[in-house]
Structure 1
Amino acid sequence: MANLATPVFSEGSVPELSDETLAGFSAIVGNENVLTGKADRYAYSRDRMPYGLFKLRADSLPGTLPGAIVSPRDADEVQAVVDYARQRKLRLIPFGAGSGVLGGTVPLVDEVMVDLKRLNRIVDLNTVDGTVTVQAGMNGMQFEQELAQRGFTAGHLPQSIAMSTVGGWVACRGAGQASSRYGKIEDMVLGLKAVLPNGKKVEVRPVARRAVGPSIKDLFVGSEGVLGFITEVTLRVWRQPEYATPLVLAFRTIESGFQALREVMQSELRPEVIRLYDEKESAQRTEGMLEFADRPILCIMKFSGKEQLATVERDMSLAICRKHDAVLAGLAPYEHWEATRFHSYSTKWQSDGHYMDTIEVTGTWTHLLDMYTAMRVAAQAIHPEMHFGAHWSHIYPEGACQYMTVRLPPMPEQDAILLHQQAWDTIERLCLEMGGSVAHHHGAGLFRNPWVRVELNEGLNMLQILKDGLDPDNLINPGKLALRQPTGSTWQMKESA
């Protein structure tokens, strides 16, 4: 199995693009939409990957500076940029808002960033079919607010909604906080348009279903830009729920919580939100609440939709939870979550010099409790002051997403980097050994390359063949999704069997 060791980085200056090359981009998108200043290139040199922040704090970078930033206004300009770059063998990276946490947009060999945020409007809202067509660069929060003004929701509400784009959701195969009711992004996408690495446009028409061979749509959902530029997507939309009602419950053990949540989902009930916290994460949210004195495990649920249906689902779910020895608790934890659901908790700790990261995996009910226990014990054994907490917030009939926070105290950067990577490798190895998936909704990016190779096995070769056919020169976001690194890459993962 792959073993993660220290990445090796090439330091030094990044060659700037020639005036002639830049003039060619300017002729396509306008001079004001080509950025070449060092400050701009520095700002686009990383996403929100914690490892990138650790390098930044040490006056370094996870990769290189990009050669430039180009911002097309529509699909035709995207196509022209791709054609121009292909003719000159220039590498490109699709860029939404940079909210990814695994290095999916990190430049490795001074690639040109293609910022899609000018593709930022709703094209059509079809209230008969219940669909919305939107350009890929539209900000997620603005998109949802515009839908809400017209009485609709897409139901995709990730914590990063205010700092992500609709196209980014699709490219990274994301999941929102209401996934138990509305599904994940792959359940919402009906059709899309994209520009391929060879400069050709492809369209998947938005229909309820098709049987015309393997799903081209699903090649792009989760492709993280390696197969081209998503420029437009058509999603399902729903009427804004007319009614919502929450539950806060206290369980004695994680195991009883798992049993209750499994029964809720296997009973075909669909809460909008369903969240279970381990004892450490529960304690942060229930301090002073008597209900949690002998039942230390917090569970939050929210039911929405038609009032009659939501009430029935709530009552049936409550009965199931009570059967597993849960008791009702005050609504304060739910109200706090609702008020802060789109806030990031990492800023405080990172600003204080800690080394914090989150790891989300998917496990089956058969293995989930053992997976949690093994990962917690292994992570805490890495360092005596290692923080480890977990919650489960995407729940399925077959299992759940386990979302873990690991945090090391301030220490020398070189020591922290090694321990941070050890934590990742330990947790992802255990996930693979227990039959899980190494990524639930954060995607693969760059940082997960070693474990993605193991999970996909021969499937990765299939993806590489497809990539080579569309992009024989490896020009579009090379080195991501565990695919072949570009020549001269500064990211050299040392792996051994």
Structure 2
Amino acid sequence: MSSVPASQGAAKPLSRIADIVGAQNLLIDEATLRQYARDRLPFGIFKHRSGGLPGTTPVAVARPASEDEVAALLEASAAEGFRVIPFGLGSGVLGGTIPLGGEVMLDLTRLDKLVSIDEVNGLATVQAGMNGWDFETALNAAGWTSGHLPQSIKISTVGGWAACRGGGQASSRYGKIEDIVVGLKAVLPDGRKLEVRPVARRSVGPSLIDLFVGSEGTLGVITELTLRIFRKPEVEQGVVLAFPTVEAALSMARRVMQAELRPQVVRIYDEIESRDRTKGIALFSEKPILAILVFSGSRNTAEAEERDALAIAEQEGGTIADDAPLRHWREVRYESYSAKWQAAGYFMDTIEVCCPWSTLPDLYEKARAAALAIRADMHFGAHWSHVYAEGACQYMTIRLPPMPDAEGLVLHGKLWDAIQSVTLACGGSIAHHHGAGVFRNPWMRDELGTGLDVLQAIKDALDPDNRLNPGKLGLRPAPGTVAVGHR
């Protein structure tokens, strides 16, 4: 699609933005605007490789360097009537930062400082635009870890983790981002500043932190976060297991979590995803399901938890295997598999959902059957890598072979619809840690019911003119904007 007409990004607002951030930090050249026109939404990648865009190009990109500049930009937005989308490093895969018509992108990556490490209280304060890997590296140098280690850690920001309500690979030990954020600063759509001071707990009404963690830039712009941090563990020790069935491996994970053990990593792969990872290991010809467990902490704690977990695994038919899959996972844990397939013309995507243990095996079988009914020669695989006492995340990879967009995009849409619908029918949630963005809009009413009306009412109260990232999270789009997705 073409960029938004210049009349929508009038000269007066741009001049005011330049006064706030400096002319060198207001970007309006076409090449830059196209870079900001998409994130890593696979649907957007499919459109881009055919020469199109999933939405529109933005009017401009503003790069503020402070909370004061963010506040001034949002005040200008209110006064001049232009719309704004907060932007980190664009690693989201649901289109949460895709411009839909007439927006200015608010690039927060100049807010990139580690403000402080509080070793007494175990807290770190960090600006929202700091690169996740830089944050973790700085903590490690001081003997700490964030505990939040998403696959995207090298290409995402700390603020993005919170805005999208993300999860990391060590979540079964340290929790998700909502468990780690204890304080934040944000700027509201009208430019007012809000601060939630970091304390261990409070009982003064609904949590304001939870209003912004997961809001994807629709209710305010997060500028600073205070997070729990954790001492770097004395040891991290892992084990590879082979199981006869997916059901047996999932039962092991459920029992481990319900026994109140806290492995740092739990990863279970279905037979399809286990194959490449276990080539040459004879045991997996008998027991084809791969599981990886990692325990950390003091040596005594890690050894005790591993011992108890292995006893449960043995009862479920698990057998200790060669550790090559664990070593390989550690080498590639922060790499994406999708890009090479997408570049080769495949329609590759991932869908992560959450379901109770009681219906998880049924969800897997039904999702797999629904996908293969749409295209029998496609790739469908699944793994489970975020587990709780109550259930787990099922992370599915779908890959259609190269074909014309007219056919591939239709099948891609059918796959998404089938898998999200099956998830809801099994009592699950349509999203676990990637967020909703714009691409999950069609299913937000089914997921939230009346809750979507509550979110819309909050949005209307804070942003009555619908200027801050409109049309995301299933919320009302702004007038004159385009739709993104299959329906």
> In the alignment, which residue of structure 2 is the partner of 1:76?
68
Counterpart check, 1:39 vs 2:63: no
Deviation at 1:42, TM superposition (A): 0.2
In structure 2, the residue matched to 1:195 is: 187
1:93 aligns with 2:77: no
Partner of 1:15: 5
User: What corresponds to 1:153 in structure 2?
Assistant: 145
Q: How many residues align?
A: 485
Q: Distance in 2 between matches of 1:20 and 1:399?
A: 53
State which of 437, 453, 473 in structure 2 corresponds to 1:445.
Answer: 437
Specify whether residues 404 and 304 from structure 1 end up closer, same or farther in structure 2 by C-alpha distance, changes over 3 A only: same
Q: Which residue number in structure 1 is paired with residue 156 of structure 2?
A: 164
Q: Within 5 Å, which residues of 2 pair with 1:265-280?
A: 265-280=257-272
- In the TM superposition, 1:256-295 aligns within 5 A as 256-295=248-287
Structure 1 position 492, deviation (Å): 6.5
Say whether residues 1:238 and 2:220 are aligned partners.
no
Could you tell me the TM-score, scaled by structure 2's length? 0.98
DSSP 3-state at the match of 2:223? strand
Deviation at 1:493, TM superposition (A): 6.6
Identity %: 56
Instruction: Give distance in 1, aligned partners of 2:71 and 2:185.
Output: 12
Q: Of residues 423, 443, 446 in structure 2, which corresponds to 1:454?
A: 446
Residue 435 (structure 1) aligns with: 427
Q: State how far apart, in whole Å, the 2-side matches of 1:377 and 1:244 are.
A: 38
Which of 289, 292, 299 is the aligned partner of 1:297?
A: 289
Q: How does 1:11-410 map to 2 (within 5 A)?
A: 11-16=1-6, 17-410=9-402
Q: Distance in 2 between matches of 1:45 and 1:12?
A: 11
What is the CA–CA distance in structure 1 between the aligned matches of 2:188 and 2:4, rounded to whole Å?
A: 27
DSSP 3-state at the match of 1:93: strand
Find the aligned partners of 2:368 and 2:19 in 1 and give their Cα distance.
Answer: 55
C-alpha displacement of 1:110? 2.4
- SS class of match (1:421): helix
Gaps of 5+ in 2: none
AA in 2 matched with 1:217: I
Q: Deviations over 1:268-315 (max 9, x none)?
A: 000000000000000010011011111000000110111000000011
- The one-letter code of the counterpart of 2:41 is M
Alignment partner of 1:106: what SS?
Answer: coil
1:494/1:294 CA distance change after superposition, 3 Å: closer
Distance 1:168 1:492, change over 3 A: closer
Task: Write out the 4+ residue segments of structure 1 that deviate beyond 3 Å after TM superposition.
Answer: 492-495
Q: Name the amino acid aligned to 1:156.
A: H
For residue 202 of structure 1, what is the amino acid of its counterpart? L
Q: Which one-letter code corresponds to 2:411 in the other structure?
A: L
Cα deviation 1:148-178 (Å, max 9, x = unaligned): 0100001000000000000000000000000
Q: How does 1:462-481 map to 2 (within 5 A)?
A: 462-481=454-473
Counterpart CA distance in 2 for 1:464 and 1:51 is 26
Aligned-residue offset at 1:68: 0.2
Work out the CA distance in 1 between the residues paired with 2:2 and 2:255: 56
SS in 2 for 1:124: strand
* 2:130 partner SS: coil
- CA RMSD of superposed structures (Å): 1.0
Instruction: State the alpha-carbon separation in 2 of the partners of residues 145 and 492 from structure 1.
Output: 36
Paired residues of 2:185 and 2:196 also in contact (CA < 8 A): yes
Distance 1:124 1:474 in 2: 35
Distance 2:326 2:444 in 1: 35
Change (3 A) 1:494 1:324: closer
TM-score by length of 1: 0.96
Q: List per-residue Cα deviations over 1:19-76 (Å, max 9, x = no partner).
A: 3322211110011100000000000000000000011112111100000000000100
Letter in 2 for 1:288: G
Deviation at 1:124, TM superposition (A): 1.1
Distance 2:289 2:396 in 1: 16
Q: Given residue 69 of structure 1, which amino acid in structure 2 is its aligned partner?
A: V
SS across alignment from 1:293: helix
User: How many Å separate the matches in 2 of 1:492 and 1:304?
Assistant: 43
1:489 aligns with 2:471: no
Task: Indicate how the Cα distance of structure 1 residues 290 and 210 shifts in structure 2: closer, same or farther if over 3 A, else same.
Answer: same
Q: Give the secondary-structure state (helix, strand or coil) at the position aligned to 1:339.
A: helix
CA distance in 2, matches of 1:41, 1:158: 27
Which amino acid letter does the alignment assign opposite residue 297 of structure 1? I
Distance change (3 Å), C-alpha of 1:238 and 1:494: closer
User: Partners in 1 of 2:343 and 2:39 — Cα distance?
Assistant: 17
Higher relative contact order, chain-length normalized (CA < 8 Å, sep 6+): 1
2: CA distance between counterparts of 1:477 and 1:232?
A: 19
SS in 2 for 1:304: strand
- Cα distance between partner residues in 2 of 1:330 and 1:474: 55
SS in 2 for 1:441: coil
The answer to whether the 8 A contact 2:438-2:484 is kept is no
